[in-house]
Amino acid sequence: MQRSRMLSRDLHEVLTILYEAGASRVPADEIGWTSDMAAAINYALTMQYVIHREGKAGRVFSLTEAGFRAIGQEPPAYMSISRTIRSLFRFGA
């Protein structure tokens, strides 16, 4: 399936900008998003391509596994390990 069929150009751009900014725990002010990207950013958050957290340094954003895969990038290995551990705890509950 081609990228254009999977993601809109705007959403792909939002995810790529976050990826290029560091992909994980990137402070909001270090991401090159513009105000006209608000709809695509909200969609990325809603669809869980991107997550955000509030920290001491303010709001930080990270790509999820789905976000990495949506732009054709392999997620870091720690994400697979983390997912495996979470699934073990859910299974045992």
Determine the Cα–Cα distance for residues 39 and 88; give it in Å rounded to an integer: 35
Number of domains in the chain: 1
Query: Residue 65 maps to which CATH number?
Result: 1.10.10.10
User: 88-92 — which CB contacts under 8 Å span 24+ positions?
Assistant: none
Residue 55 pLDDT grade (very low, low, confident, very high; cuts 50, 70, 90):
confident
Pairing mode, if any, of strands 26-27 and 50-55? unpaired
Query: Where does the pLDDT of residue 56 fall: very low under 50, low under 70, confident under 90, or very high at 90 and above?
Result: confident
What percent of the chain stands above pLDDT 90? 70
pLDDT for residue 54: 95
> What is the domain extent for residue 14?
3-92
pLDDT value at residue 4: 39
Q: What is the pLDDT of residues 19-54, one digit of tens each?
A: 999 999 999 999 999 999 999 999 999 999 999 999
